[in-house]
């Protein structure tokens, strides 16, 4: 049974200055290292419910990405690769040479990039409602990448706007669906995670957080959708234990992405949380921790093999090894084709 530790005494917020920038992180527990990476516009507090449970077994490190939370928000590089570099640098400073990486949303893309850039550091990989599978993404994020729409976010600084958004989102989410309109087309559907989405948006009232958010968003999303995907390097996880966790009602990164990622990483395990949205670890934190701990207990950490790594990179992906039904495999192949498109 999972027994929460005392978060007041066990979970700490600490800081390190790296390359001149202050980086904040939450840390708790002892044992093998577990790195939790949050999504765009979010911060490490998103993991507060699961850190005490995971810390019973692991040293849990949950950073605020640069430009997020309590970390500095400079005019800097906010690409996925830069975020992966930041995770490596923090682990070096903290003295951890090996880590299991858990990434949510944008953090999933960062986690995959981390595994690609620094394979010697990685024990296992857990992707939670991860970005970077295909171009498809919530239309709101596409709109916010446009200059005119993104500048409208500055209205959040006006008195009463954020409380008004909270009330409106709560009212819409609690209202009945219009008769005859499919559930997937209703405003209520897109506000499945309204508490978390409004929480993230509210933080953008700070002008420095706003600027960092836009730089991060434009590094990974444009009007066509996600511009950075990971399918072309999925084959490099061949020996790496991989767990996928998704909510079946996720309208930010749809559950179909989970099925595509599962097909492209044939040895991966997929756990779906029913009636859950983009934050399954908020909807059922205890189950989430049980799933993660069980996965880690069944899979020994990978031992990096430079010869095998060179062989995999030399051979490239094997498109004939995808698993799943015909429709899913076709979706994977279409995503590969779209990934290579110049338009």
- Determine how β-strand 12-18 pairs with β-strand 33-37: unpaired
Q: Tell me the mean pLDDT in the region 312-332.
A: 80
- Reduced to 3 states (helix: H, G, I; strand: E, B; else coil), residue 50 is coil
Three-state DSSP string of 199-240 = HHHHHCCCHHHHHHHHHHHHHHEECCEECCCCHHHHHHHCCC
pLDDT band at 5 (very low <50, low <70, confident <90, very high): very low
**What does pLDDT average to over the chain?**
85
- Reduced to 3 states (helix: H, G, I; strand: E, B; else coil), residue 187 is helix
pLDDT in tens, 278-308: 999 999 999 999 999 999 999 999 999 999 9
**Is 8 a catalytic site residue?**
no
Q: Which of 104, 255, 278, 282 is catalytic?
A: 278
Q: Centre a 10 Å sphere on the Cβ of residue 266 and count the other Cβ atoms it contains.
A: 16
> Highest-confidence range of 147-156, 183-192, 288-297, 323-332, by mean pLDDT?
288-297
Q: Which of 44, 64, 250, 255 is catalytic?
A: 250
**Is 193 a catalytic site residue?**
no
Q: Is the confidence at residue 168, as pLDDT, over 70?
A: no
**Is 284 a catalytic site residue?**
no
The answer for residues whose C-beta is within 8 angstroms of residue 81's C-beta and 6 or more apart is 113, 117
Query: What is the pLDDT, as a whole number, of residue 154?
Result: 67
Q: Is the confidence at residue 171, as pLDDT, over 70?
A: no
Query: What is the pLDDT, as a whole number, of residue 135?
Result: 74
The Cα diameter of the chain in Å comes to 60
Query: What is the pLDDT, as a whole number, of residue 241?
Result: 97
pLDDT in tens, 26-79: 999 999 999 999 999 999 999 999 999 999 999 999 999 999 999 999 999 999
Q: Tell me the mean pLDDT in the region 132-157.
A: 68
DSSP string, 295-328: HHHHSPPPPP-HHHHHHHHHH---GGG--S-HHH
Query: What is the pLDDT, as a whole number, of residue 172?
Result: 61
pLDDT in tens, 192-201: 676 787 787 7
Percentage of residues in the chain having pLDDT higher than 70: 78
Q: Is the confidence at residue 3, as pLDDT, over 60?
A: no
Q: Is the confidence at residue 175, as pLDDT, over 70?
A: no
Q: Is the confidence at residue 111, as pLDDT, over 80?
A: yes
Give, as one character, the DSSP assignment of residue 80.
Answer: H
Look at residues 209, 189, 188, 197 and name the one whose alpha carbon lies nearest to residue 162: 197
Residue with tokens 């978060």: 7
Q: Tell me the mean pLDDT in the region 249-257.
A: 90
The answer for residues whose C-beta is within 8 angstroms of residue 303's C-beta and 6 or more apart is none
Q: Tell me the mean pLDDT in the region 218-222.
A: 79
Query: What is the pLDDT, as a whole number, of residue 9?
Result: 40
Which range, of 72-81, 167-176, 256-265, 324-333, averages the lowest pLDDT? Answer: 167-176
The answer for residues whose C-beta is within 8 angstroms of residue 36's C-beta and 6 or more apart is 44, 47, 50, 51, 60, 61, 62, 102, 103, 104, 107
- Reduced to 3 states (helix: H, G, I; strand: E, B; else coil), residue 104 is strand
């Amino acid at each position: 049974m999972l027994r929460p530790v005392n978060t007041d005494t066990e979970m700490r917020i600490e800081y390190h200055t790296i390359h001149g920038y202050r980086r904040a992180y939450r840390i708790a527990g002892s044992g093998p290292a577990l790195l939790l990476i949050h999504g765009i516009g979010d911060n490490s507090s998103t993991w507060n419910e699961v850190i005490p449970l995971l810390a019973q077994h692991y040293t849990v490190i949950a950073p605020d990405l640069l430009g997020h939370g309590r970390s500095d928000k400079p005019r800097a590089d906010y690409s996925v690769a830069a975020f992966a570099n930041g995770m490596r640098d923090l682990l070096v400073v903290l003295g951890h040479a090996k880590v299991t990486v858990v990434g949510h949303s944008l953090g999933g893309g960062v986690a995959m990039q981390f595994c690609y850039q620094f394979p010697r550091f990685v024990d296992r990989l857990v992707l939670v409602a991860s970005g970077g599978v295909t171009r498809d993404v919530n239309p709101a994020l596409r709109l916010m990448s446009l200059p005119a729409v993104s500048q409208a976010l500055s209205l959040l600084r006006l008195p009463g706007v954020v409380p008004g958004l909270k009330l409106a989102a709560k009212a819409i989410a609690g209202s009945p669906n219009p008769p005859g309109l499919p559930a997937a087309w209703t405003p209520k559907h897109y506000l499945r995670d309204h508490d978390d989405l409004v929480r993230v948006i509210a933080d953008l009232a700070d002008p420095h957080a706003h600027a960092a958010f836009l730089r991060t968003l434009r590094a990974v999303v444009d009007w066509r959708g996600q511009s950075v995907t990971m399918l072309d390097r999925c084959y490099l996880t061949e020996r790496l234990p991989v767990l996928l966790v998704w909510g079946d009602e996720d309208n930010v990164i749809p559950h179909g992405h989970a099925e595509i990622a599962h097909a492209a990483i044939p040895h991966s395990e997929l756990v779906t949380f029913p009636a859950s949205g983009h934050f399954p670890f908020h909807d059922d934190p205890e189950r989430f921790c049980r799933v993660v701990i069980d996965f880690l207990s069944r899979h020994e950490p990978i031992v990096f093999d430079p010869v095998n790594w060179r062989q995999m990179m030399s051979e490239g992906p094997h498109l004939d090894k995808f698993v799943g039904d015909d429709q899913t495999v076709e979706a994977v192949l279409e995503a590969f084709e779209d990934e290579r498109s110049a338009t």
